[in-house]
Amino acid sequence: MKLAILGATGSVGRELVTQALAAGHEVTALVRAQPTPGDIDDRVALVLGDATSADAVKRTVKRSDAVLSALGHAKGAPDDLLAEASSNLIAAMQADGVSRLVVLSSAAVADAADRPSLLYRAARVLLRVVMPGVVRDHRKQASLIEESGLAWTIVRGPLVFTDGPRTRLSHAGPLGRDSGPRASRADLADFMLAIATDGGFMRMKPLVSW
């Protein structure tokens, strides 16, 4: 498959690129600056630009079979980064006839099927207090994607991302008693890549954790 990846130089994005190439997929990645030699595999087609640029996103998405976004709020990023990037993604995908979209999000985004534990309820309150702008942006992104008409999946990460190995032992589904606080970045990438290529969890918001 031809995959477009946003956030490819982030911690989860790097895992997405590595695993996608290992599986034989063709990868186009949007990057803000030309990487240093060896930083990104030479097999990746690079588009230089920012996710807030409609033109850069359009060039990245063009002729893709599926789009994956692991964008996050790096230091200094605008509070509306995800919402603006998602607006650009949705427009580009609709214009090019690309329907499959898998986006990494946060446990701060709610789902009607959630039955959060005390830990996650407390974490959501804390996130709203400590990072209100980031929480609003994640929720705005989710709203835009849900209303897009695309074949989307919003993958919600747990409270803690680790550098552990890919175990393929993660749990995915509504936030509930089986939802743990941790998962490795490798397992998050593995899950995102799997559902991007097999169409699982269509128009759902699974939380992935160990």
Whole-structure pTM value: 0.94
Are the beta carbons of 108 and 127 closer than 8 angstroms? yes
Please name the fold of domain 2-209.
Answer: Rossmann fold (3.40.50)
For the chain, what are the domain ranges? 2-209
Q: What is the DSSP letter of 179?
A: -
pLDDT tens per residue, the chain (210 residues)? 999 999 999 999 999 999 999 999 999 999 987 877 777 888 999 999 999 999 999 999 999 999 999 998 877 678 899 999 999 999 999 999 999 999 999 999 999 999 999 999 999 999 999 999 999 999 999 999 999 999 999 999 999 999 988 998 789 999 998 899 999 999 999 999 999 999 999 999 999 999
DSSP character string of 153-178: EEEE--SEEE-----S--EEESSSTT
